[in-house]
Structure 1
């Protein structure tokens, strides 16, 4: 039925009276008919209101917000690897992880502010702390995390390049202590930084984000771990990259397993993952993540830097493809009202049974 037909009151052009039954009441009226009677009006089938989406699709820019999701995850997981390298005496693993975390969180914040339009809009989100708002909690997590990450990276650079003045030995010791404290503090907030964006997406009404609220944080955690291990594999010598290789395997397994479980449990809202651009991105992500994990394992046995570099590139690219695929799938699900209405009807039917 076209919008014009609907505006004229349907095919007959008349306006229904106030007594016209609707919804569940209409169903009860139909059931009270005798066995020999048939309804002259067919059961209502799915359609949208005037052919319009039920939801307004997200207006976020794909490069900004999907990039913000990816870089935030990379930063948070890199802080954990940096702390691991620090505690296990692997300075050449800890150093690139610290610098990578600082660079990633800087770019992540820049992407967020660019999407918001003005820096003051981000500052306005800090005026009130609302524990029930993922956006508010996430903003405050970033405010606590970013300075610690910057301090850890700055002290690493200062000690490494001896930017400490005349009393280098004494000051270096103090800087190392400060840097270690900042590294451990950033690592404590790292898991929240890597996963809060999944909670943020799930808190929206966008079907392909909201329906995966149970598993999406685990998907993002695995993706972040895979990306951070990819960066470490590419930058650290193979002799010190053991934690990165193990993290790559664990992250890839968590990402792939949680994503498949999420798709099975989402019902119809998972369809956009298998259509158009999201399908291409997510298939590429899966292939790259599996390849990267296999190469990471192989690099440990061969001690070959070229294999480690290939593993790192595959894991970093696969993680990025996952974030962009999830983003575009959410936008596609908001554009089609079927993904909003059908799950709602299924939940109502389950409650009534």
Structure 2
């Protein structure tokens, strides 16, 4: 082989070692490198493991010791360094001769394809929770005889669910796709279940809101029977909307956790809790804005319950997930979630301190609504950030593999 021809690093080191061993033996025996004497031809050496009979430097332990080199380890001896891969209980398999490769992306591209959802889906997360919380507020006002809460909750619920339908259809691209999703009901698909929940909730919320215009209809004539039938029908529809509201508030959290996005998928126990708390807090904000302080008692209690769930879930997401908590604490998601916590705390404090102040109560309601927006958008952007960085995909996978080994 020509010396100028490029060879592998391992073969190059073998040639260099072989040349050094031949030179050492030649010096010891007085022969020329490469001569029969240097190669050990005609000399006996007990302990040779090779087919030759001479010292065979590099072939026998004796020749290696004479040359001042480290003897070869026995072929049946287990390696003393390195880690072996494969085999039951760590025995056998292939010995690792190189350190584990560092994670990287393929030509600068992420390992996962980031979600194609845009801001309209983040807005859909908020309006869906707002519709659910407002329907619960309206049901509370209906059952406790607080008409201001009932009217505000029903009107907001209809407006929010209409906005949700718009954002969802806008993301799907064509209205017919929403209709096509109603052809099947797949319980294992959060999107399919959510479509049916939205289809059941929307008409009920609409009937309950329309029932609020019954007192403005003429008592006689063609619209007289409609005026008499709308209130009881609206009460029943309002209760139906309130029954389906918890599913509407939480299914979006299940939908996000069902994806392969690392920081969403790993937070599957907390996301439905966060979204439920955010929905309750936003509904309470509507009540504090629209109802006088004397009728806002249920809204204040709803605000406390929603804030407790939302703050607990957000704390868990930002501290339990280890590396996957980083996207929720840095950059835009971190700023949004911190603002959401501050606004939630301020809204709850103002709701209870302003029980006799309409202005402070309304300000607290606005803070709770803003907190819900920040929380939903923060969770959304945190998941998108975790999908763009390959670190959040590769490192947790290696940790799980190491724990399994």
Q: TM-score, normalised by structure 2?
A: 0.75
Shift in alpha-carbon separation, 1:50–1:168, aligned structure 2, 3 A: closer
1:1-353 equivalent positions in 2, closer than 5 A: 24-25=85-86, 41-62=98-119, 64-157=120-213, 159-162=214-217, 165-166=220-221, 171-300=226-355, 303-352=356-405
Note the C-alpha offset of 1:239.
0.8
Note the C-alpha offset of 1:89.
0.7
Shift in alpha-carbon separation, 1:171–1:281, aligned structure 2, 3 A: same
Alpha-carbon distance in structure 2 between the residues aligned to 1:73 and 1:316 = 11
Shift in alpha-carbon separation, 1:164–1:261, aligned structure 2, 3 A: farther
Aligned residue pairs, count: 324
Note the C-alpha offset of 1:61.
1.2
Alpha-carbon distance in structure 2 between the residues aligned to 1:242 and 1:102 = 23
Regions of 4+ moved over 4 Å:
26-33, 167-171
Unaligned runs of 5+ residues in structure 2 are: 1-7, 10-82
Aligned residues: CA RMSD:
2.4
Unaligned runs of 5+ residues in structure 1 are: 1-10, 13-21, 34-38
Alpha-carbon distance in structure 2 between the residues aligned to 1:184 and 1:23 = 64
Shift in alpha-carbon separation, 1:168–1:52, aligned structure 2, 3 A: closer
Stretch of structure 1 that moved more, 159-168 or 66-75: 159-168
Where does residue 64 of structure 2 map in the other structure? none
| 2:340–2:370 contact (8 Å) kept in structure 1 | yes
Structure ranking higher on relative contact order (CA contacts 8 Å, 6+ apart): 1
Where does residue 19 of structure 1 map in the other structure? none
What SS class does the counterpart of residue 47 from structure 1 fall into? coil
Alpha-carbon distance in structure 2 between the residues aligned to 1:43 and 1:189 = 51
Alpha-carbon distance in structure 2 between the residues aligned to 1:133 and 1:104 = 24
Structure with the higher fraction of residues in helix conformation: 1
Q: Determine which structure has more spread, i.e. the larger CA radius of gyration.
A: 2
Q: TM-score, normalised by structure 1?
A: 0.86
